[in-house]
Amino acid sequence: MSLTILPKSDLGDFVSQLMASYRVAGPVHKDGGAAFEVIASPEDLYLDYATTILPPKKFFLPTREVLFNFKTNGDLQVQHPEPDPPTIVMGVHTCDVHAIQLLDHVFAAGKPDAHYLQRRAQTLIISIECLKPCDEHAFCKSMGTMTADEGFDLHMIDLGNAYAIETGSEAGEKLLKLSPASAATNADIERLNQVMSEKWPRFPYRLDFDVSDLPSLLNVSMKSPLWEELGKRCLACAACTNVCPTCFCFDVKDEVSLDLSTGSRVRSWDSCQLDEFATVAGGHNFRKSRALRQRHRFMRKGKYILEAHNYLGCVGCGRCARACLVDITPVNVFNELYRQRQAGG
């Protein structure tokens, strides 16, 4: 891994170079906040953004994607859609870098999912170091995602008048050749160390316990009364799972044209918080209550996904906490379970 320096005044040119060969996406201003979108010009980029409502996951696992198109004439001839163009996603925060690493593992494990992997294989990630917490809901420091050692092709750190750029892959190194970035001097490295050491105390720990205790805490919390309490508050709106960078459950259904002659098999995001998620055709719902569905969600985040994939299912981005209309937040849930266990409950 090498460190190079890109003056901020050269960023626009660099991005223009990238746009010549790639579809480039990144955070842009939207509705008073920010959203990841494909950019039309380097000026669209809003790299100082706090957070986004939806994570960059949508570039690999779109909210809705066509798996194949078909005719309904009964011959089962199907046609697969054209793949997305090579893409660069810029300005990805490190919490989302961790989340993408989890998704990469999930979709490659067991029977590999070609649809996800194909998109992922032709997407490069240029992440950016957060130098301050995005808001009071972020708890990345507690989750160990406040920075990232890997999972990016290039990683940018704002040094004031320039970006320090780390390379994380050969593909990233090739990209960097398109820029006028120069090797970092000792003074640059000193400045980098200063920026990083000033960053650390700005982020609070928000869990009352060490995250390595989270799986065992959840393990003894299956029968906690907290789930019933959450179930009474939860509106089952699925906002929490829809904005989550690590949620990957999906639905598969057919959409047909108005004249019923053609159609598409479509994969779209689904949510374990919705009533019909575990309901079979005969009507039996295997996870009927909102309490059990909330429990399932938090068990996946802190335990099930870790056991299956060796990555925590929560990266502390705080998006679900911001989205929840009834203030159900992972920090409060995990801390309350910890308090109950300390109290012997």
Partner 1 sequence: MINVKKPSYAGPLAEAQVDLFTPVAARIRSIRPLTQLEKVFTLELPVGVTLGHRPGQFVEVSVLGVGEAPISISSSPSRSNGSFELCVRKVGDVTSALHKLQPGSIIGVRGPYGRGFPFEKFRGKDLLFAPGGLGLAPLRSLINQVLDERAQFGRVIILYGARNPGELLFKEELEAWSRRPDVELLLTVDRGDESWTGNVGVITTLFRHVSVYPRNTVAITCGPPVMYRFVLMELFGKGISEGNIYLSLERRMKCGIGKCGHCQINNVYACQSGPVFTYAEIKGLEEAL
Q: How far is the CB of 277 from partner 1 (least distance, A)?
A: 6
Q: Which stretch binds partner 1 (CB under 8 A): 27-35, 182-190, 230-238, 291-299?
A: 291-299
Among residues 126 and 240, whose Cβ is nearest to partner 1? 240
Q: Nearer to partner 1 by C-beta: 29 or 80?
A: 80
Angle formed at CA 129 by CA 123 and CA 132, multiple of 5 degrees: 140
Q: Is the dihedral of CA 186, 189, 194, 195 positive or negative?
A: positive
Most distant CA pair in the chain: distance in Å?
69
How many Å apart are CA 234 and CA 327, to the nearest integer? 9
For partner 1, give the closer residue by CB, 52 or 246.
Answer: 246
Size of the site for partner 1 (CB under 8 A): 51
Instruction: Report, in Å, the least distance between residue 266 CB and partner 1.
Output: 10
Q: How far is the CB of 205 from partner 1 (least distance, A)?
A: 28
Q: How far apart are CA 111 and CA 97, in angstroms?
A: 23
CB of 289 to partner 1, least distance (A): 11
Q: State the minimum distance, in angstroms, from the CB of residue 308 to partner 1.
A: 7
Amino acid at the residue 16? S
Going by DSSP bridges, is the β-strand pair 123-128/87-92 parallel, antiparallel, or unpaired? parallel
Told to check if 7 binds partner 1 by CB under 8 A, we report no
**Which part of the chain contacts partner 1 (CB under 8 A), choosing from 32-40, 143-151, 164-172, 285-293?**
285-293
Q: List Cβ<8 Å contacts ≥24 apart for 295-301.
A: 295/222, 295/227, 295/230, 296/272, 297/240, 297/241, 297/272, 297/273, 298/218, 298/330, 298/333, 298/334, 299/218, 299/222, 300/272, 301/246, 301/330
The Cα 248–Cα 74 span in angstroms is: 32
The one segment of 46-54, 76-84, 133-141, 316-324 that binds partner 1 by CB under 8 A: 76-84
**Binds partner 1 by CB under 8 A, chosen from 68, 84, 173, 231:** 68
Residues belonging to the chain = 345
User: Which listed range, 2-10, 69-77, 145-153, 228-236, lies at the site for partner 1 (CB under 8 A)?
Assistant: 69-77
177 binds partner 1 (CB under 8 A): no
Least distance in angstroms from the C-beta of 250 to partner 1: 5
167: three-class secondary structure by DSSP: strand
From CA 208, how far away is CA 228, in angstroms rounded?
A: 22
* Closer residue to partner 1, CB minimum distance, 30 or 71: 71
CA distance 36 to 239: 18
Asked if 77 interacts with partner 1 (CB under 8 A), we say yes
Nearest CB to partner 1, comparing residues 109 and 325: 109
Per-position b or e across 209-239, b if 16+ CB within 10 A of its CB: bebeebeebbeebeebebbeebbeebeeebb
Judged by the rule CB under 8 A, the positions of this chain that interact with partner 1 are: 67-68, 70-72, 74-78, 80, 106-107, 109-115, 222, 248-254, 256, 260, 263, 265, 267, 270, 272, 277-282, 284, 286-287, 292, 296, 299, 303-304, 307-308
